[in-house]
Every structure is written in structure tokens, then in C-alpha cells.
Structure 1
Amino acid sequence: MRRDDRDEPFDDLFREIERMMNEMMNGADANVDFNSSSNVESGFGMDTHIDIHETEGEIRVVADLPGVAKEHIDLECDGKTLTISAGSEHHQYDERLSLPQRVNEHTASATYNNGVLEVVFEPAEKSSDISLE
């Protein structure tokens, strides 16, 4: 006796999951031009990992920037947001990171070694209370 596929209780569920995954993946690819003639990949997240470590005395941002020369890295900070712009012949990285707390951007230090960028900030002084008289 041949088994009827309709007797399988999970077939409908698996078909629906597969349909939703295909729909999601097709939607994600809709904005990607796979036929682009450009050799430059842009944006963080492609092959870059960024970590933010917060301790009582410092905020440390560690970012992987493979293939980028030190002189092609630009960093800017306004005390709340760190902007990293870096580029090479094959990659262009542009990222704005919201820092977990306000930092003193004037005391920041940065190092770049073997494709790893590390930026260290001191937390900004807490604003003082204003007393009413």
C-alpha cells in the first residue's frame, strides 16, 4: 500500500515555513545588484565585526577593518556617536555607532593593528546639579 503524502501531519506546516523563508530571502535580495560591475563592497556587516565594551572607567570600541591601511581611517565623535569611515581598493566602510553613554571625545585614543581598530574613551563627567535660590 502506498502512503498518501496528505496523511503526514506536518507537511502543511513545513510547506508554510518554506514559503515564508523563500519570501523573506527573495525580499532581502531585491535591493542587491549581483550584476554590479563595481569591485567595492560597502558597509559594515559584510565582513566586519564591531564590539562595544563598557566599564566604569572607559568605553572601548573594537572594529575589524580587514584590508584597510591606517592612513585611510577617519574617526569622528561628538560625545554620543562615533563615526568610522575607512576604505581601501576593495572595501568601503562607513558606520555611525551610538555609544552607550556620553564620552569625553577630547581624551579618546585609538590604535590600529593587523586590521583591528580599537578606540578608547573616558566617560564624560556627569553634569552638575543646579541649585535654585
Structure 2
Amino acid sequence: MRRDDRDEPFDDLFREIERMMNEMMNSADRDVGFDSATNAENGFGMDTHVDIHETDEEVRVIADLPGVEKEQIELECDGEMLTISAGTEHRQYDERVSLPTRVNEHTASATYNNGVLEVVFEPAEQSSDISLE
């Protein structure tokens, strides 16, 4: 019995999307001049993953820093941007994370466990009204 293409109208579309994705992934190094070995060693974007969670009570930043010791991590925050710097002899991490809301950087607490950095901030106080006399 001959297959009728009308039974699965999106079959060709899915095959084409899969073909294009495979082609893109297999030729990414050639097409964009990306040297995966060098950048993976440096830690820029290859194995660093940053998540930001915001609630009314806090802003939580979670970053993966595999292979880094706690003593090698430096954190800086100006209330709007968190800078995470860490380095080993094999990797260098420099992440600038734009925070979703202004935070009170003086309330920050940070923990590092099994390659996962977690930084928690309280939101900055809302500016108060100024009354004229």
C-alpha cells in the first residue's frame, strides 16, 4: 500500500527543520568562526549558565562555575549589574549579569556548592516622596 502524504501534512516540514538544525549544529564551527576548543577552555558561554529569579522579597542569581574553587571567585555589584569573575589555570569566567530590578547590594549573601554559585539580594528601597513646605 502506498503512503499518502495527506495523512501527515507536516512530516516533510519536520524533516526539513531537523535537516537544517543538524546542518547548523554540524557546521557551526566553520560558519561563524567559533573555535569551540579555545572558548570551552576559557569558559566563556560554553559551560556557564546563569539563571535569575525575582520575587517581591528577593532577586536570586544562580550561576554554574564548574571546576572553580570558592577562593577563586570575585563578585561585584553596583545595584544594577552583578559581575562574576573566576579563574583557574584552565578557565576564565567573566560574566556581567544585568539584574531585573535595582537591588541593595549591601544585603547580598552568596553561597558556592559543587560548582553552583547562588547570590541573593534584597530589592532596593523605592524612592520616597519629597514633600514641599
Shared fold per TM-score greater than 0.5: yes
Deviation string, structure 1 residues 2-43 (Cα, Å, up to 9, x no partner): xxxxxxx89x9789758865775587424223675x983331
Superposed, 1:62-101 pairs within 5 Å as 62-101=62-101
Which secondary structure state, in structure 2, belongs to the residue aligned with residue 40 of structure 1? helix
Q: Which 5+ residue runs of structure 2 have no aligned equivalent?
A: none
Is 1:126 aligned with 2:132?
A: no
Q: Which of 1 and 2 has greater Rg?
A: 1
Matched positions, count: 126
Q: Which 5+ residue runs of structure 1 have no aligned equivalent?
A: 1-8
Q: In 2 relative to 1, CA 74–128 (structure 1 residues): closer, same or farther, beyond 3 Å?
A: same
Which secondary structure state, in structure 2, belongs to the residue aligned with residue 56 of structure 1? coil
State the shift of 1:72 in Å. 0.8
Is 1:52 aligned with 2:52?
A: yes
Cα distance in structure 1, aligned partners of 2:132 and 2:27: 57
1:32 corresponds to: 34
> Could you state the TM-score of these two structures normalised by the residue count of structure 1?
0.72
Is 1:61 aligned with 2:58?
A: no
Cα distance in structure 2, aligned partners of 1:41 and 1:81: 22
2:107 corresponds to: 107
Please report the RMSD computed on the Cα atoms of aligned residues, expressed in angstroms. Answer: 3.0
- In the alignment, is the contact (CA less than 8 A) between 1:40 and 1:89 conserved in 2? no
State the shift of 1:129 in Å. 1.9
Cα distance in structure 2, aligned partners of 1:14 and 1:110: 45
- In the alignment, is the contact (CA less than 8 A) between 2:42 and 2:91 conserved in 1? yes
State the shift of 1:48 in Å. 2.5
Structure ranking higher in helix proportion: 2
Cα distance in structure 2, aligned partners of 1:129 and 1:96: 32
Cα distance in structure 1, aligned partners of 2:79 and 2:129: 20
Cα distance in structure 2, aligned partners of 1:79 and 1:120: 12
1:5 corresponds to: none
- In the alignment, is the contact (CA less than 8 A) between 1:39 and 1:90 conserved in 2? no
Q: Identity of counterpart residues, as a percentage?
A: 75
